[in-house]
């Protein structure tokens, strides 16, 4: 198996380790929830997490409200009685976000006293549901999101800013529930795995009340990193795990990663986190992972043995349908031969076009999870770099 196939294999191992359906099913089978249960699932992994709840709880589930990103619904849920699946925009909210927010508020307010509420929250929730404070408009929220996404704000800063405009985020659902008992399970994509930041605090604490919500993070980037490490061992590879999460400018992260690799005495490195990009007013197609991958490829010297996978665990890199890319020392040459001006693409944040030209993009579709981004780099032998065909993930 060549290096590219190994990277795709261990990435798949990581995705299965933090899969929303499997993670929720496993946790709920270990708990004894009072029946009947009403499920509220919000985020990119909402449909997957809802499938896990239904598998574990079965007939104890009376109703489900599932709110997820366009194209992320699960057809199997449509066959289950009492399930409502709603789609919305990401990463910038639209009018559907307000309709979804109103539906969520109304269902929480009207919960019967005998119903136990179960909340399943994953990254992406911030734009999918919204109910605004007085005096705040849709345009205000859209402008905030656009500013944060284009200015390189990290996810924690952006989510805290979003929460200040909302009446259901930043502890808003806790206020609706008051002291009522509830369970909230989180798939975390934020540093520190803080429920007050995940989904802009949709199921976070309200400082003014002592609520009855039990909060548990059931999957995070560290879980995925550990799975990569063990998956690599099945291929006879020993990877160095970088214990701190990467963050900050994608180009700077790429430079730091390459420096670590050149000093590494193992077969490669795995690193989890989430980088940022600062976009010019006019920019091309791409996301933070493809920009990081292209930045890495530009710095490789001819014959450098490193191959890097940079991808989002949710299967989407920023506003694109790409998960990320796999690059090596031949990436720039392949893109150039295909007619792409690499320097233009890099400076204009058009990395998706460049990596499409080099045939290095990775596509997974919706993955059923969202714990942040993974960087997995492994060393190829010198002979494997010469003349070996590169299989592509379709």
pLDDT digits (tens, 9 = 90+) for 309-354: 999 999 999 888 999 999 999 999 999 999 999 999 999 999 999 9
Q: Over 90: is that where the pLDDT of 253 sits? A: yes
- Give per-residue pLDDT as tens, 157-184: 777 777 777 788 888 899 999 889 999 9
State how far Cα 285 lies from the chain centre. Answer: 19
Indicate if 239 and 354 belong to the same structural domain.
Answer: yes
Answer for the pair 329, 300: CB distance below 8 angstroms, yes or no: yes
Nearest to 293 by CA among 375, 230, 372, 232: 375
Indicate if 211 and 251 belong to the same structural domain.
Answer: no
Edge-to-edge strands of the sheet including 83-88?
83-88, 61-69, 37-42, 116-122, 181-187, 212-219
Indicate if 92 and 9 belong to the same structural domain.
Answer: no
DSSP for 204-220 reads: ---TT---EEEEEEEE-
Indicate if 156 and 292 belong to the same structural domain.
Answer: no
Q: What is the maximum span of the chain, computed from C-alpha positions, in angstroms?
A: 68
User: What whole-number percentage of the chain has pLDDT above 90?
Assistant: 75
Q: Is the entire prediction scored with pTM above 0.85?
A: yes
Answer for the pair 53, 120: CB distance below 8 angstroms, yes or no: yes
- Domain final position from 162, 191, 219: 219
Answer for the pair 306, 262: CB distance below 8 angstroms, yes or no: no
Q: Over 70: is that where the pLDDT of 384 sits? A: no
238 in a structural domain:
yes
Q: Over 70: is that where the pLDDT of 387 sits? A: no
CA-to-CA separations, 112 to 34, 58, 119, 136, 180, in angstroms, rounded: 13, 19, 16, 31, 11
Q: Cβ contacts of residue 236 below 8 Å, gap of 6+?
A: none
DSSP state of 126: H
158 in a structural domain:
yes
- Give per-residue pLDDT as tens, 75-111: 999 999 999 999 999 888 888 999 999 999 999 999 9
390 in a structural domain:
no
Query: Alpha-carbon torsion 237, 238, 243, 247, what sign?
Result: negative
CA dist., res. 364 & res. 324, Å (int): 9
CA dist., res. 385 & res. 239, Å (int): 20
Indicate if 270 and 209 belong to the same structural domain.
Answer: no
344 in a structural domain:
yes
Q: What pLDDT, on a 0 to 100 scale, did the predictor assign at position 221?
A: 98
Q: Give the domain CATH number at 151.
A: 3.40.50.10180
Overall number of domains in the chain? 2
Q: Over 60: is that where the pLDDT of 307 sits? A: yes
Mean pLDDT within 16-42: 97
């Amino acid at each position: 198996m060549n290096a590219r196939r190994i990277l795709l294999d261990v990435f798949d191992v990581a995705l299965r380790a933090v899969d929303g359906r499997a993670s929720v099913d496993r946790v709920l089978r270990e708990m004894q929830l009072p029946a009947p249960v009403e499920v509220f699932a919000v985020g990119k992994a909402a449909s997957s997490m809802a499938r896990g709840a239904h598998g574990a709880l079965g007939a104890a589930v009376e109703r489900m409200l599932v709110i997820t990103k366009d194209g992320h619904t699960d057809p199997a849920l449509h066959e289950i009685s009492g399930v409502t699946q709603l789609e919305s925009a990401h990463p910038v909210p639209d009018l559907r976000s307000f309709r979804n927010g109103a539906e969520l508020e109304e269902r929480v307010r009207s919960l019967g006293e005998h119903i136990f509420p179960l909340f399943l929250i994953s990254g992406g929730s911030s734009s999918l549901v919204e109910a605004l404070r007085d005096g705040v408009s849709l345009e205000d929220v859209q402008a905030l999101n656009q500013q944060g996404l284009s200015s390189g704000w990290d996810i924690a800063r952006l989510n805290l800013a979003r929460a200040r405009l909302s009446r259901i985020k930043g502890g808003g659902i806790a206020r609706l529930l008051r002291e009522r008992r509830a369970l909230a399970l989180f798939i975390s994509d934020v540093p520190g795995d803080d429920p007050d930041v995940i989904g802009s605090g949709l199921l976070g604490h309200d400082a003014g009340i002592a609520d009855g919500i039990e909060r548990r993070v059931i999957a995070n980037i560290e879980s995925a990193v550990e799975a990569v490490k063990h998956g690599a061992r099945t291929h006879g590879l020993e990877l160095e795990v970088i214990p701190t999460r990467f963050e900050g400018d994608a180009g700077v992260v790429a430079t730091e990663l390459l420096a670590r690799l050149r000093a590494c005495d193992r077969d490669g490195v795995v690193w989890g986190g989430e980088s940022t990009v600062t976009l010019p007013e006019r920019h091309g197609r791409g996301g933070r992972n493809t920009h990081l991958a292209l930045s890495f490829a530009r710095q490789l010297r001819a014959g450098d043995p490193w191959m890097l996978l940079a991808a989002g665990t949710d299967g989407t890199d920023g506003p694109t349908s790409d998960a990320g890319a796999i690059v090596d020392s031949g990436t720039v040459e392949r893109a150039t031969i295909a007619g792409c001006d690499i320097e233009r693409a890099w400076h204009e944040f058009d990395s998706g076009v460049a990596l499409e030209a080099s045939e290095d993009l990775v596509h997974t579709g919706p993955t059923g999870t969202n714990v942040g981004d993974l960087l997995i780099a492994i060393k190829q032998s010198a002979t494997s770099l010469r003349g070996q065909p590169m299989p592509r993930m379709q």
